[in-house]
Amino acid sequence: MAPPLLTALLLLLLASLIPASQSQAATCLSQSFTSNKRYTFCNDLPSLNAYLHWDFNEAQSTLSVAFIAPPAQPDGWISWALNPTASGMAGSQALIAFKQPDGKMAVKTYNITSYQPLKESKVWFDVKESSAESSGGTIKLFATVVLPEKGRTVLNHVWQVGSSVTGGVPDKHAFQPANLNSKGSLDLLKGQSTASAGGNSNLKKRNIHGVLNVVSWGIMFPTGIIIARYLKVFPSADPAWFYLHVSCQVSAYAIGVAGWGTGLKLGSESKSITHSVHRNIGITLFVFATLQVFALLLRPKKDHKLRIYWNIYHHGIGYSVAVLGILNVFKGLDILQPDPKWRRAYIVVIAVLGGIALSLEAFTWVVVLKRKKASTKPYDGYNNGHTRQEPLAP
Ligand SMILES: *[C@@H]1O[C@H](CO)[C@@H](O)[C@H](O)[C@H]1NC(C)=O
Mean pLDDT of 123-147: 94
Give me the helices (H) in 298-306, please.
Answer: none
Q: d(Cα 205, Cα 3) in Å, to the nearest integer?
A: 37
The answer to whether position 377 is within a domain reads no
Which of residues 32 and 213 earns the better pLDDT score?
Answer: 213
**CA 311 / ligand 1 centre spacing (Å):** 67
Domain count, the chain: 2
Which of residues 6 and 342 earns the better pLDDT score?
Answer: 342
One domain for residues 224 and 338 = yes
Q: Which residues contact 224 (CB under 8 A, 6 or more apart)?
A: 245, 248, 249, 252
The answer to whether position 6 is within a domain reads no
Q: In the chain, count H helices and then E strands.
A: 9, 13
Ligand 1 near 84 CB (within 6 A): no
> Looking at the predicted structure, is the pLDDT value of residue 83 above 80?
yes
pLDDT score at 272: 54
Among 140, 175, 196, where does a domain finish?
A: 196
For residue 288, what is the enclosing H or E element? helix 276-297
The answer to whether position 94 is within a domain reads yes
pLDDT band at 127 (very low <50, low <70, confident <90, very high): very high
Arithmetic mean of pLDDT over the chain:
84
Count the alpha carbons within 13 Å of 163 in the hemisphere toward its beta carbon.
7
Residue 57 per-residue DSSP state: E
pLDDT score at 257: 96
State pLDDT tens for residues 240-259. Answer: 999 999 999 999 999 999 99
**CA 82 / ligand 1 centre spacing (Å):** 13
Ligand 1 near 119 CB (within 6 A): no
91: left (phi over 0), alpha (psi -120 to 50) or beta: left
pLDDT score at 202: 67
Count the alpha carbons within 13 Å of 82 in the hemisphere toward its beta carbon.
23
> Looking at the predicted structure, is the pLDDT value of residue 61 above 80?
yes
Among 143, 177, 196, where does a domain finish?
A: 196
pLDDT band at 276 (very low <50, low <70, confident <90, very high): confident
Amino acid at 359: S
Ligand 1 near 329 CB (within 6 A): no
**CA 113 / ligand 1 centre spacing (Å):** 8
How, if at all, do strands 138-146 and 62-69 pair? antiparallel
Q: d(Cα 358, Cα 377) in Å, to the nearest integer?
A: 28
Give me the helices (H) in 214-237, please.
Answer: 221-231
One domain for residues 114 and 248 = no
Q: d(Cα 232, Cα 394) in Å, to the nearest integer?
A: 7
Count the alpha carbons within 13 Å of 40 in the hemisphere toward its beta carbon.
13
pLDDT score at 161: 95
One domain for residues 240 and 109 = no
The number of angstroms, rounded, from the C-alpha of 241 to the middle of its chain's C-alpha atoms is 34
pLDDT score at 199: 47
- What CATH number is given to the structural domain containing 72? 2.60.40.1210
Helix axes 276-297, 238-269, angle to 10 degrees: 150
One domain for residues 134 and 246 = no
Q: d(Cα 46, Cα 62) in Å, to the nearest integer?
A: 25
The answer to whether position 325 is within a domain reads yes
Range of the domain at 268: 203-371
pLDDT score at 368: 85
> Looking at the predicted structure, is the pLDDT value of residue 20 above 50?
no
Ligand 1 near 113 CB (within 6 A): yes
By percentage, how much of the chain surpasses pLDDT 90? 53
Mean pLDDT of 115-122: 82
Ligand 1 near 203 CB (within 6 A): no
One domain for residues 223 and 364 = yes
One domain for residues 158 and 242 = no
Ligand 1 near 125 CB (within 6 A): no
**CA 94 / ligand 1 centre spacing (Å):** 12
The answer to whether position 254 is within a domain reads yes
Q: d(Cα 110, Cα 107) in Å, to the nearest integer?
A: 10
**CA 126 / ligand 1 centre spacing (Å):** 14
Q: Report the C-alpha dihedral over residues 280, 284, 286, 289, rounded to 10 degrees.
A: -160
pLDDT score at 348: 97
Ligand 1 near 122 CB (within 6 A): yes
pLDDT band at 25 (very low <50, low <70, confident <90, very high): very low
> Looking at the predicted structure, is the pLDDT value of residue 23 above 50?
no
Q: Which residue's CA is the closest to the ligand 1 atom numbered 8?
A: 111
pLDDT score at 26: 57
> Looking at the predicted structure, is the pLDDT value of residue 81 above 80?
yes
Mean pLDDT of 140-145: 95
One domain for residues 175 and 267 = no
- Report the atom number in ligand 1 closest to the C-alpha of 111: 1
One domain for residues 182 and 211 = no
Among 111, 123, 126, 145, the mutation site with the greatest number of ligand 1 atoms within 8 A of its Cβ is: 111
One domain for residues 212 and 293 = yes
Among 112, 113, 126, 127, the mutation site with the greatest number of ligand 1 atoms within 8 A of its Cβ is: 113
Among 129, 162, 196, where does a domain finish?
A: 196
Sheet containing 183-187, strands listed edge to edge, beginning at the edge strand earlier in sequence: 105-111, 93-99, 77-83, 154-162, 183-187, 192-195
The answer to whether position 379 is within a domain reads no
**CA 111 / ligand 1 centre spacing (Å):** 6
Lowest-pLDDT choice from 10-14, 122-126, 211-215: 10-14
**CA 91 / ligand 1 centre spacing (Å):** 8
One domain for residues 164 and 227 = no
pLDDT band at 16 (very low <50, low <70, confident <90, very high): very low
One domain for residues 79 and 38 = yes
**CA 189 / ligand 1 centre spacing (Å):** 27
Ligand 1 near 123 CB (within 6 A): yes
Q: Which residues contact 204 (CB under 8 A, 6 or more apart)?
A: none
Q: Which residue's CA is the closest to the ligand 1 atom numbered 4?
A: 113
Q: d(Cα 60, Cα 158) in Å, to the nearest integer?
A: 23
**CA 323 / ligand 1 centre spacing (Å):** 52
One domain for residues 148 and 35 = yes
pLDDT band at 159 (very low <50, low <70, confident <90, very high): very high
Amino acid at 68: I
Ligand 1 near 370 CB (within 6 A): no
The answer to whether position 20 is within a domain reads no
> How crowded is residue 309: how many other Cβ atoms within 10 Å of its Cβ?
11
The answer to whether position 382 is within a domain reads no
Amino acid at 110: Y
Q: Which residue's CA is the closest to the ligand 1 atom numbered 3?
A: 113
> How crowded is residue 387: how many other Cβ atoms within 10 Å of its Cβ?
13
- What CATH number is given to the structural domain containing 231? 1.20.120.1770
